[in-house]
């Protein structure tokens, strides 16, 4: 069965420093997609970054990068130069296998607090 694990319920980071949010996943299918979303206090889920299981390079989107280690089944999100507006909940998610790709599996989330 597919599963996403985020082991950090909450984290603090100093403004302008980098922070890594952990995510591990479990799947037996070689084809899958990994996603990170940001959820500010308003509640809306904002897509940040995507990594495909066959992608050779780690995904990057501005200050966001995904440290993809396939053998370890980890997909950590790295936020460089943290800003106060980065304070939010962050969710790691995985799209289901090819035979059930309509399913998204979400982790329990990590609450990030950026300190001035």
Q: Which positions lie near another protein, rule CB under 8 A?
A: 33, 35, 37, 42-47, 50, 91, 95, 101-104, 106-109
Backbone angles phi, psi at 50, to 5 degrees: -130, 145
Nearest 5°: the CA angle 29, 31, 35 is 110
**Residue 57 CB, nearest distance to another protein (Å)?**
18
Give dist(CA 107, CA 4) in Å, integer.
Answer: 5
> Facing residues of 34 across strands?
51, 94
13, 115 contact by CB (below 8 A) = yes
Closer to another protein by Cβ: residue 25 or 35: 35
Residue 31 CB, nearest approach to another protein (Å): 9
What value, to the nearest 5°, has the Cα angle with vertex 106 and ends 100 and 108? 155
Nearest approach in angstroms of CB 51 to another protein is 11
Strands 10-14 and 64-69, sheet pairing: unpaired
Shortest spacing between CB 60 and another protein, in angstroms? 15
Nearer Cβ to another protein (107/114)? 107
Closest CB to another protein among residues 68, 91: 91
Residue number, 14 or 100, with CB nearest to another protein: 100
């Amino acid at each position: 069965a597919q599963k996403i694990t985020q082991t950090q319920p909450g984290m603090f980071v100093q403004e302008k420093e980098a922070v890594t949010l952990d995510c591990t996943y479990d799947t037996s299918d070689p084809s899958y997609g990994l996603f990170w979303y940001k959820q500010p206090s308003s509640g809306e889920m904002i897509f940040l970054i995507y990594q495909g299981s066959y992608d050779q390079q780690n995904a990057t989107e501005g200050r966001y990068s995904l440290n993809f280690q396939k053998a370890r089944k980890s997909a950590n999100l790295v936020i460089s130069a943290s800003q106060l507006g980065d304070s939010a909940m962050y969710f790691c998610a995985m799209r289901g296998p090819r035979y059930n790709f309509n399913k998204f599996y979400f982790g329990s989330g990590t609450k990030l607090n950026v300190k001035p």
